[in-house]
Amino acid sequence: MNDRFSLEGKVALVTGAAYGIGFAIAQSYAMAGAKIAFNCRSREHMEKALEAYRAKGIAAKGYLCDVTDETQVGEMIGDIREHMGAVDILVNNAGIIKRIPMTEMTVEDFRQVIDIDLNAAFIVSKAVLPDMIERRRGKIINVCSMMSELGRETVSAYAAAKGGLKMLTRNIASEYGGYNIQCNGIGPGYIATPQTAPLREPQADGSRHPFDSFIISKTPAARWGTPEDLMGPALFLASAASDFVNGQILYVDGGILAYIGKQP
């Protein structure tokens, strides 16, 4: 059974894995034997990330690459192929969120979220698929969201992007499943990361942030998730244990999507 979850000798590219969810996923893959590549757009974040990987004993290879730029992505994939081997596992994790009411959001802001959260996944997946098709094997994992299923105020662009990413996941599975390529999504619930830190900051009087209280009340697990909560599910989707799982979204949300909430 351990062999089914081994990634020994595999090459994994995790986009946006300088910290948070992407870093935890990359760490889980390294622990299972994979060679790790990741990207970020900031040299400062790159240096901090490489130091964090070294502290975990992981010899990750970092790339300064904008995943919305097809030329840069092509160069990154080519370099990974030359120095590490063709990508066996791709995790499309890079993403941003802008919490702005729709009537106040500019078209430029909306397009930026769609470009990073959805278009980039298309660009990077397109770049790795030819090698996967040629070798007749590969794993693509798209980091979706509960907003792939639900709407909420102020996140119109994010929800639109993540809903599109869910359907891109299903389409890649449909189009390339015959080549023994599995494309699945992982849908985090509310995870305690730097991106969600503003939603958890205590109020001036020391009380919980209203949104923090709201999430705790809506989550059967009665807590925020951690990046480590995603390590096992992400490893499953990258390993031979999921070879007959395709086009699915695995929600790791503490039960939120199954829960209507407490009776008042």
3-state secondary structure 94-126: CCCCCCCCHHHCCHHHHHHHHHHHHHHHHHHHH
Average pLDDT, rounded, for the chain: 96
For residue 124, pLDDT over 90 is answered with: yes
pTM for the full predicted model: 0.96
Looking at residue 155, what DSSP letter applies? Answer: -
- 263/222: higher pLDDT: 222
pLDDT at position 263: 76
Q: pLDDT digit string (tens) for 183-228?
A: 999 999 999 988 788 889 998 898 999 999 999 999 999 999 999 9
DSSP per residue, 189-232: -SB-SGGGGGGTPPPTTSPPPHHHHHHHHH-TT-S-B-GGGGHH
Q: Which two tokens stand for residue 256?
A: 């939120």
pLDDT at position 136: 98
Q: pLDDT digit string (tens) for 60-95?
A: 999 999 999 999 999 999 999 999 999 999 999 999
| pLDDT interval class at 264 (50, 70, 90) | confident
- The one catalytic residue among 63, 158, 190, 251: 158
Q: Which two tokens stand for residue 158?
A: 């994010």
Active site residue 259: no
Instruction: Measure Cα distances from 161 to 4, 22, 87, 90 in Å.
Output: 33, 18, 25, 19
Percentage of residues in the chain with pLDDT exceeding 70? 100
